[in-house]
């Protein structure tokens, strides 16, 4: 089984960036932990601050992988193109947000991408990535 985690803009700074909102665990450490918990799954990690690179990655894995865990960061709220890419591929996508987007600024309450995903997990901290993997295993 192959799962691709895709993180969007600024999420390379998880652990450093606004720790009161996003916590202090780095994504590299968290992915290591996930790989040790789910040793039978191939978990690939990709991060980009560039919208087109996220779309290219969705296309690249979206017809062969078993699941995609996507945190599109700020593009969640703005990117018709990422939403279209999710709709275009075959692999199920689970959307994750570390923070609870509904408890924050109003412009974060809209997810353009969520509608094309199998489901959305928001506000569970880094645990959201694990919950998304669990949902893909069911
Ligand atoms: O970059 C991010 C991170 C985020 O996706 C989250 O994981 O909580 C929430 C977004 O609103 C924000 O732009």
Give the mean pLDDT of the chain.
97
How confident is the model at residue 133, as a pLDDT? 98
Please identify, by atom number, the ligand 1 atom nearest to the C-alpha of residue 10.
1
Question: Any residues with Cβ below 6 Å from ligand 1, and which?
Answer: 10, 71, 73-74, 76, 97-99, 101, 108
In the beta sheet, which residues pair with residue 120?
95
In the beta sheet, which residues pair with residue 1?
none
How confident is the model at residue 66, as a pLDDT? 98
In the beta sheet, which residues pair with residue 46?
6
The closest alpha carbon to 96, from 120, 125, 116, 131, belongs to 120
Q: What is the pTM of this model?
A: 0.97
- Are the beta carbons of 23 and 126 closer than 8 angstroms? yes
In the beta sheet, which residues pair with residue 117?
none
Pick the CATH number of 2-137 from 3.40.50.9100, 3.40.640.10, 2.70.70.10, 3.30.420.10: 3.40.50.9100
Catalytic status, residue 22: yes
- For residue range 53-72, list pLDDT tens digits in order: 999 999 999 999 999 999 99
| ipTM > 0.90 (yes/no) | yes
């Amino acid at each position: 089984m192959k799962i691709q985690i895709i993180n969007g803009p600024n999420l390379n700074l998880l652990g450093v960036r606004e720790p009161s909102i996003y916590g202090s665990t780095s994504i590299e450490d968290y992915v290591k932990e996930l790989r040790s918990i789910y040793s039978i799954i191939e978990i690939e990690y990709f991060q980009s601050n560039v919208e087109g690179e996220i779309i290219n990655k969705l296309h690249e894995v979206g017809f062969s992988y078993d699941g995609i865990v996507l945190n599109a960061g700020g593009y969640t709220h703005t990117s018709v193109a990422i939403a279209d890419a999710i709709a275009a591929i075959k692999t199920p996508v689970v959307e994750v947000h570390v923070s609870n987007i509904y408890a924050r600024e109003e412009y974060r309450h809209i997810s353009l991408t969520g509608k094309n995903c199998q489901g959305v997990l928001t506000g569970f901290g880094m645990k959201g990535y694990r919950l998304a993997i669990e949902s893909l295993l069911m």
